[in-house]
Amino acid sequence: MLSEGIEPTHHTYNIMLWGLFLSLRLDTTNRFYEDMKARGIAPDAVTYNTLINGYTRLKRMKEVEKLFIEMKAKNLAPTVISYTTMIKGYVAMEQVDDGLRLFEEMKSFAVTPGINIIWMFLVGSGIWKDEAIVKLLSIYRDYMRG
């Protein structure tokens, strides 16, 4: 693209980032992300969700948390996709308390959880205590009441 005088956009970078994650080329993924920022192309919510999804699939939750903090610091509101992806990662890694923390945080960003989030917790219910289910359902009822 560049050799032909075509400048990449954030859409181009988002597609490339996802493809690089799928091929497990993390060094190149990180270089593309840094190149994107160096060219003055601001990462958008899709960029962050792509990175969050990629690192979550690799169970690298420290990187995910850093990206999540960076996303919020840039005044990009996390989406239901951001939260769902991270919660799924935490539950899969048996870090259900971290998943519940994010589930509660969703309300402060006015993000309405989908039923699939509840399902993720229930599927992982063999990992965590019964009182967590009660707390989860209580939080969900609060969301539904408005």
Among 10, 105, 99, residue whose Cα is nearest residue 50: 10
For 94, other C-beta atoms within 10 Å of its C-beta total: 13
Superfamily of domain 2-145: Tetratricopeptide repeat domain (1.25.40.10)
Q: What is the pLDDT of residue 4?
A: 67
Which amino acid, residue 13?
Y
The domain segmentation of the chain, as residue ranges, is: 2-145
Q: Look at 50-54, 100-104, 105-109 and tell me which has the smallest mean pLDDT.
A: 105-109
| 11-18: average pLDDT | 88
Q: Are 80 and 103 spatial neighbours (Cβ–Cβ below 8 Å)?
A: no
Over residues 63-88, the pLDDT tens digits come to 999 999 999 999 999 999 999 999 99
- Distance separating alpha carbons of residues 15 and 109, to the nearest angstrom: 27
Say if residue 105 is exposed, middle or buried (CB neighbours under 10 Å; 0-12, 13-18, 19+): middle
Nearest in space to 48 (alpha carbons), one of 8, 88, 87, 77? 77
**How much is the pLDDT for 3?**
64
Cα separation, 88 vs 120, whole angstroms: 6
pLDDT at 26: 80
Q: What percent of the chain has pLDDT over 90?
A: 37
Mean pLDDT of 34-40: 91
